[in-house]
Amino acid sequence: MDQSKIRNFCIVAHIDHGKSTLADRMIEKTGVLTSREMQNQVLDNMDIERERGITIKSQAVRMIYKAKDGEEYTFNMIDTPGHVDFGYEVSRSLAACDGAILVVDATQGVEAQTLANVYMALDHDLDVFPVINKIDLPSAQPQEVKDEIEDVIGIEAQDAPLISAKNGIGIEDVLEAVVHKIPAPVGDSLKPLTALIFDSIYDSYRGVIVFVRVKDGVIKKGMKVKFMATGAEADVVEVGYFGPGRFIASDELAAGDVGYFTASIKNIQDTRVGDTVTDSARPCDEALPGYKKVMPMVYCGLYPADSAHYSDLRDALEKLQLNDASLFYEPETSQALGFGFRAGFLGLLHLEVIQERLEREYDLNLVTTAPGVVYKVHRTDGTVFDLTNPTNLPDPSEIEYMEEPIVNGEIMVTTDYVGAIMQLCQERRGKYLSTDYIEQTRAILKYELPLNEIIYDFFDALKSRSRGYASFDYELKGYEKSELVKLDILINREEVDALSFIVHKDGAYERGRKMCEKLKDEIPRHLFEIPIQAAVGGKIIARETVKAYRKDVLAKCYGGDITRKKKLLEKQKEGKKKMRQIGNVEVPQAAFLSVLKLDSTD
């Protein structure tokens, strides 16, 4: 195919500014799908994504557009995940593009996240052009927004298409702008194959389906390809393009093309996002830049609520991992929760997404333990190991020192909330670096923050303290020495391993106190008094008590309607079944989750 007729691009936008709707309209206008075929949002095809309004797995779609100049163009639109947890995946998706459409809401203007996304696109040398959406709303201020884009971002905006994605206004202009404002790819089909993996999914019939952007060379059926980072090799079975919602096989993908290939690959770990695919027979000199092996940042225990479902959970994790190379898990046991898994995630959202998918798609009832990060434990004997489960922390006498992961965090916030956010960062042991004012009302705060301070409820706290105006982005800086202790929770004097976690020594008391308070509310009253204690190194630092209940009696006569009385008792018994037995205390599953959210503003 003539490279000059190809346009590879993505759409960047603040959440709710209409990215998915615009994508849908473009797909409609290019005539690949009829309106009737259109699902509400073609790109976001997972339930969870739709409900949360975010995109998790990147995907691509090819459109054929007959432009006003009479030529037929091939558009490859690559969707990008919208969350910092998937920052690396986003960067690889952007690397597969040559340009980006920036969608800005005509009523909201440029928002913090818009900036973060645009900067990321510009960092990848993409040509960005803006479109102003929702111009049909009475409160739309297209001219002001155009000026703002030029002022704040510094890109030309006066001729930005004015559209309403929802009502299909101005979509033609966007399509034309793609032709004229997004550069055509400039690869060389004669060079050795160099293709960037920006995503992959697992299909039970075809094995792994690898999503690639071909930079140079050609990939075709029958050729042997090599994955440069993992070293894996495979024979290409099929290549093709992305139709909306389906794959369209073709003979080859050449320089500039975006498409997929299959090669009977069984293990998705072999096809890592960011890796370079080349021709085994005629390899390229060097891999494309930017590849990173993605390591889990956050770990937690996943347990079936009913231990009988252990193997169901294992099967479900296995299936999820087929599609998600960044999901890690291994079996572990907990005294409190029985058999389960320690699972690693890119971040808290990733964790929540997996958890929800397990519950929703696999109908599993889960108990999740407090998420933690990976600590480096330096033993007195000079050895170092990575600690992913707090219960594995050795005796303090065997520990020389510990290190924890630190991130470089950037918080974009309106100036009204700078004070509140700085206080939050302070509370989270943040080290202040700088404040940059990007305009009069907006600032970027830079902090070094311990990762374990932001994985719990930092996003929630950020949102609540800035009324939703702050956005947060971070990347791992490295490990630093820190004074960490293991906080244990005792319920009725019995240590509950599933509730133990690592915390900075200065925050132990506060955290312990809050956990006890939370647990006190979550644990129902029993026939006896239940002390709930927090301890560090065997020393109790906080305590709450769940009082014994005094009354649980049906002092009412239902006459001869015994069935009704039995139903009441059965309901009571059923309620108990849903709880976890810890010693002789019944702990509801919600108790394990509630301790994850302990924002200090409460």
Partner 1 sequence: MNKTLKRLSLYIHIPFCVRKCLYCDFLSFNADNDLIDEYFKALGKEIVLNAGEYADYEVDSIFFGGGTPSFPDAKYICDTLSLIFESFHVSDKAEISLEVNPASAIFGKLNSYRRAGFNRISIGAQTLNDEELMKLGRVHNASMFYDTYENAKRAGFDNINIDLMSAIPGQSLESYLDTVKKVLSLRPEHISAYSLIVEEGTPFYDMELDVPSEDVDRKMYHETKSILAANGYHRYEISNYALSEDKECHHNKVYWTRGNYLGLGLGASSMVENVRWKNVSDIKKYIEIFAAKEDKDRNNVDKADVFVDNFKKYREDVEKLPIKSQMEEFMFLGLRLVRGVSLEEFKNNFSCDIHEVYAETIDKYKNMGLLKEYTIDGHTNLCLTDEGIDVSNTIMADFLFD
Q: Does 563 bind partner 1 (CB under 8 A)?
A: yes
Please identify which residue in 561, 578, 597, 601 interacts with partner 1, judged by CB under 8 A.
Answer: 561
Contact (CB, 8 A) for 134 and 161: no
SS3 65: strand
Contact (CB, 8 A) for 593 and 368: yes
Nearer to partner 1, 34 or 563 (CB): 563
Site for partner 1 in 493-532 (CB under 8 A): 527-528
The Cα 201–Cα 219 span in angstroms is 19
Nearer to partner 1, 386 or 561 (CB): 561
Q: Does 308 bind partner 1 (CB under 8 A)?
A: no
The Cα 113–Cα 122 span in angstroms is 14
Please identify which residue in 437, 570, 578, 602 interacts with partner 1, judged by CB under 8 A.
Answer: 570
Q: Does 385 bind partner 1 (CB under 8 A)?
A: no
Interior angle at CA 87, CA 81 and CA 91, nearest 5: 85
Q: Is the dihedral of CA 81, 241, 190, 182 positive or negative?
A: negative
Q: Does 555 bind partner 1 (CB under 8 A)?
A: yes
Q: Does 557 bind partner 1 (CB under 8 A)?
A: yes
Nearer to partner 1, 437 or 528 (CB): 528
Q: Where are the beta strands (DSSP E) in 156-206?
A: 194-203
585 strand-pairing partners: 582
Site for partner 1 in 258-277 (CB under 8 A): none
Q: Does 581 bind partner 1 (CB under 8 A)?
A: no
Q: Does 560 bind partner 1 (CB under 8 A)?
A: yes
CB of 531 to partner 1, least distance (A): 17
CB of 525 to partner 1, least distance (A): 10
Cβ neighbors of 194 (< 8 A, separation 6 or more) are: 214, 215, 216, 217, 276, 277, 278, 284, 288
Q: Does 554 bind partner 1 (CB under 8 A)?
A: yes
Q: Does 549 bind partner 1 (CB under 8 A)?
A: yes
The Cα 550–Cα 547 span in angstroms is 9
Nearer to partner 1, 158 or 307 (CB): 307
Nearer to partner 1, 151 or 561 (CB): 561
The Cα 73–Cα 63 span in angstroms is 8
Q: How far is CA 162 from CA 138, 272, 432, 500, in A?
A: 14, 39, 41, 54
CB of 551 to partner 1, least distance (A): 5
Choose the stretch contacting partner 1; rule: CB under 8 A; options: 43-51, 106-114, 483-491, 559-567.
Answer: 559-567
Please identify which residue in 69, 285, 395, 552 interacts with partner 1, judged by CB under 8 A.
Answer: 552
SS3 41: coil
Tell me the site size for partner 1, rule CB under 8 A: 25
The Cα 492–Cα 587 span in angstroms is 11
CB of 553 to partner 1, least distance (A): 5
Contact (CB, 8 A) for 549 and 526: yes
Q: Does 551 bind partner 1 (CB under 8 A)?
A: yes
CB of 571 to partner 1, least distance (A): 9
Residues of the shown chain interacting with partner 1 in the complex, contacts defined by CB under 8 A: 527-528, 549-557, 559-563, 565-566, 568-570, 572-573, 576-577
